[in-house]
Amino acid sequence: MYYVGVDVGGTNLKAGVVDEQGRIISKVDCPTQVERGHEAVVENMAHLALKAIEKAGITLDDVKSIGVGIPGVLDPRTGRVPFCTNLGWHDVPVIQLMQKVIDKPIYVDNDATVATLAENVAGVSAGAKSSVFLTLGTGVGGGVVIDGKVYSGAHGVGSELGHMITVAGGEKCTCGNRGCWERYASATALIRMGTEAAKKHPESILNKAENISAKTVIDAAKAGDKAALEVFDEYTEHLAVGLVNIINFIDPEIIAIGGGVSAAGEFLVKPVREKLAKKVFYKAMPYARVELATLGNDAGIIGAAMLGR
Amino acid sequence: MYYVGVDVGGTNLKAGVVDEQGRIISKVDCPTQVERGHEAVVENMAHLALKAIEKAGITLDDVKSIGVGIPGVLDPRTGRVPFCTNLGWHDVPVIQLMQKVIDKPIYVDNDATVATLAENVAGVSAGAKSSVFLTLGTGVGGGVVIDGKVYSGAHGVGSELGHMITVAGGEKCTCGNRGCWERYASATALIRMGTEAAKKHPESILNKAENISAKTVIDAAKAGDKAALEVFDEYTEHLAVGLVNIINFIDPEIIAIGGGVSAAGEFLVKPVREKLAKKVFYKAMPYARVELATLGNDAGIIGAAMLGR
């Protein structure tokens, strides 16, 4: 049997057919065009799924289920999506709307949760009984696997790891709190810190960039720029603080790091591992490996598909 | 069948016989006398268990297993206790030593984990599929129940909730890090904050106490003392920060609060619930109830006993 995964982003919709082992058989995409309204977008999602099935050379009969990853959360009590800030959705019955087009079981979950599942089935965390997946992008998304299953909590509101408060009273967050981890550990944080450092250090090569991106800061740090190295050191320090919280809390087998900032590779995870070793509570006991996620952008399709496995 | 629970504290050893429903049938105790060394203490633990069995009017044949709660952690790979700071233990084979005296299955787990299990079997969290238990005492201890089972993580180093960093760069902690939650949410924190406030506010009734305890601060706040109220407000704010992290991370059904500070009762949990409502990420969705633990000091015996159930 095959599974279809639909990855719903603010910019693009992607769909793909995935086999039992989590391998992608076909892949299609189109612009999301949020401004069309949720009914048109969800209908488009269903048709994109059918297109992926056609492209894979299979039929709907070969498909067990459709999974959908959204930048939001499904309320398990209602089967509806209460809101997706990035999509402007409020109380959208995604499952019902898609089933008007495709008569198959449909599963919906958070995009970071879905990516977590993907890494746990076919990526760096494959086979781990417990794992945490982090995506360091505009924000910090997270997912938790316990006993081999994605764990979203009793009310489906868990694994919002980016909104763990690590600097109480710190930077204002979009969620209304202050000091959320994602204010210090996201690509956005790296940009903010890099921009501030550039102003303070006119000699820094950070000032050569027209717009400072996370990559600008990472590349400047890699090139040995003093201001960028200081920023990157502060960034990995904050990253390590959140990781030590994850370890001290649920002690997973492995923590997989994905998202834009993870493109920095070993340059990122090496100092994080070193800082972590000094911060974990039980220093003489084994604790989670910190590894780079391996599936990249495909994690959205693979994980969504695997929701029905 | 019956279960025996042994609660190992720095000051006292307690043992009790517990029935299938988590009710205590008999209870005995004696001083720990840590200075005797671990062999004498562990032998005493075994004999205390036998004394509890005798007092309950049953025989060893009626007992299924012995459970032990320790202020430390068991390494599941070795079956030994690598260390208990409060007891001065290093690499102690608790199970082997106890089995020299009692030939029964013996289970060992962290005291906070054990209290979590107790509350989940016979206390305020009874029947919850997922729960978190916190003990606000000298430090902040924590335990996590997922899918009805106590969850200590992949390497047995999880649920150290007091060492979640909530104020990065903040107060120095005994664990070597800065800004651990227990520096702000324990009885010790309340004493520190109360002592500082007393110095700053000579008019405060806090200055009437010879030694400021957590109870001094709580009583003064209850009496309307301005300085104490400010301290208590700051304390509940920090408590709420950690609770929001727990909810945003694993979203349990219920969070039970025990330990010395919980004696403040509704005066404690009411403001914490109000602050939490403003801080949780998904404000329109249901989330964990915050309740006072109900088993008090018996949680140690009951939970240890229930390890073998």
- The pLDDT tens digits of the residues spanning B142-186 come to 999 999 888 989 998 899 999 999 999 999 998 999 999 999 999
Delineate the domains of chain A, giving CATH numbers in brackets.
Answer: 2-119+298-306 (3.30.420.40), 127-293 (3.30.420.40)
* Distance, CA of A25 to CA of A4 (rounded, Å): 10
Most B CBs within 10 Å: which of A233, A248, A283, as the mutation test of the B interface?
A248
**B296 pLDDT above the threshold of 80:** yes
Q: What is the mean pLDDT of residues B75-80?
A: 81
Q: Chain B: give the shortest CA distance to residue A242, in Å.
A: 8
pLDDT score recorded for residue A197 = 98
Look up tokens 């279960």; give the residue. B3
- The pLDDT tens digits of the residues spanning A213-262 come to 999 999 999 999 999 999 999 999 999 999 999 999 999 999 999 999 99
- Side-chain-side CA neighbours of A99 within 13 Å: the count stands at 12
Question: pLDDT class for A134, splitting at 50, 70, 90?
Answer: very high
- Contact (Cβ atoms closer than 8 angstroms) between residue B185 and residue B242: yes
List all residues of chain A from 81 to 140 with a beta carbon under 8 Å from chain B.
Answer: 82-83, 128-130
- Contact (Cβ atoms closer than 8 angstroms) between residue A94 and residue A100: no
- The pLDDT tens digits of the residues spanning B97-136 come to 999 999 999 999 989 889 999 999 999 999 999 999 999 9
Of all residues in chain A, the percent with pLDDT exceeding 90 is 85
Let me know if B11 is exposed, middle or buried by CB neighbors in 10 A (0-12, 13-18, 19+): exposed
Question: pLDDT class for B84, splitting at 50, 70, 90?
Answer: confident
Question: pLDDT class for A150, splitting at 50, 70, 90?
Answer: confident
List all residues of chain B from 249 to 288 with a beta carbon under 8 Å from chain A.
Answer: 249-253, 278-282, 284-288
Does any CB of chain A come closer than 8 Å to the CB of residue B289?
no
Closest Cβ–Cβ partner in B155, B252, B253 for A285: B155
Q: What is the mean pLDDT of residues A49-66?
A: 98
Adjacent-strand bridge partners of A110? A70
Contact B248 A161 (CB under 8 A): yes
Q: Which residues of B touch A247 (CB under 8 A)?
A: 157-158
pLDDT score recorded for residue A16 = 98
**Residue B297 CB contacts under 8 Å (≥ 6 apart), including other chains:** none
Nearest-10 Cα torsion for A224, A226, A227, A231: 70
pLDDT score recorded for residue B10 = 87
**A85 pLDDT above the threshold of 80:** no
**Residue B138 CB contacts under 8 Å (≥ 6 apart), including other chains:** B186, B187, B188
- The pLDDT tens digits of the residues spanning A179-193 come to 999 999 999 999 999
List all residues of chain B from 149 to 168 with a beta carbon under 8 Å from chain A.
Answer: 151-161, 163-168
- The pLDDT tens digits of the residues spanning A265-294 come to 999 999 999 999 999 998 888 999 999 999
Q: What is the mean pLDDT of residues B269-276?
A: 98
- Side-chain-side CA neighbours of B134 within 13 Å: the count stands at 29
List all residues of chain B from 24 to 63 with a beta carbon under 8 Å from chain A.
Answer: none
pLDDT score recorded for residue B157 = 87
- Contact (Cβ atoms closer than 8 angstroms) between residue A108 and residue A95: yes
Closest Cβ–Cβ partner in A83, A147, A152 for B147: A147
pLDDT score recorded for residue B150 = 87
Q: Which residue of B has its CA nearest to A160?
A: B248
pLDDT score recorded for residue B265 = 97
